[in-house]
Each structure stands twice: as C-alpha cells, then as structure tokens.
Amino acid sequence: MIGWHNIAGNTPVVDWQTDGDNVVGFGRGGRAFIVLNNSSKAARVTYKTSLPAGLYCD
C-alpha cells in the first residue's frame, strides 16, 4: 500500500465503482487504480480505469 500511495500522490480520486457491498475500485488520476474486496469470495468484476493502456501487476 505504501508503494501505491507513493505513486498515486495527491492526485484526485476518479473512476469510483462498486460491485455490491463488499467490492470497491477507484483510481487516483491516471496514475494508480486499486480494487478492495471485503469478502471471503473472489470477485469477478471488470472495471474501467483512466490508466493508459499497458500491463499492470496484480
């Protein structure tokens, strides 16, 4: 999380999305995107982001 925070910096929150009560995803400008799952089950969700096209780590 510290690495994500360092990359995201103070950029604005964008692309806020939820999938029910347990899964939320959001970006920080075009620099970072995170999805948090508060369930014991895997989430199978596709999110649209403001990130440039590319390969990203999970």
Burial label, 53 (beta-carbon count in 10 A; 0-12, 13-18, 19+): exposed
Which H/E stretch holds residue 13?
Answer: strand 13-18
Residue pair 34/2 in contact (Cβ under 8 Å)? The answer is: no
- List pLDDT tens digits, range 1-58: 788 888 888 899 999 999 888 999 999 998 999 999 999 999 888 888 999 988 887 7
Residue pair 49/27 in contact (Cβ under 8 Å)? The answer is: yes
The structure's pTM equals 0.78
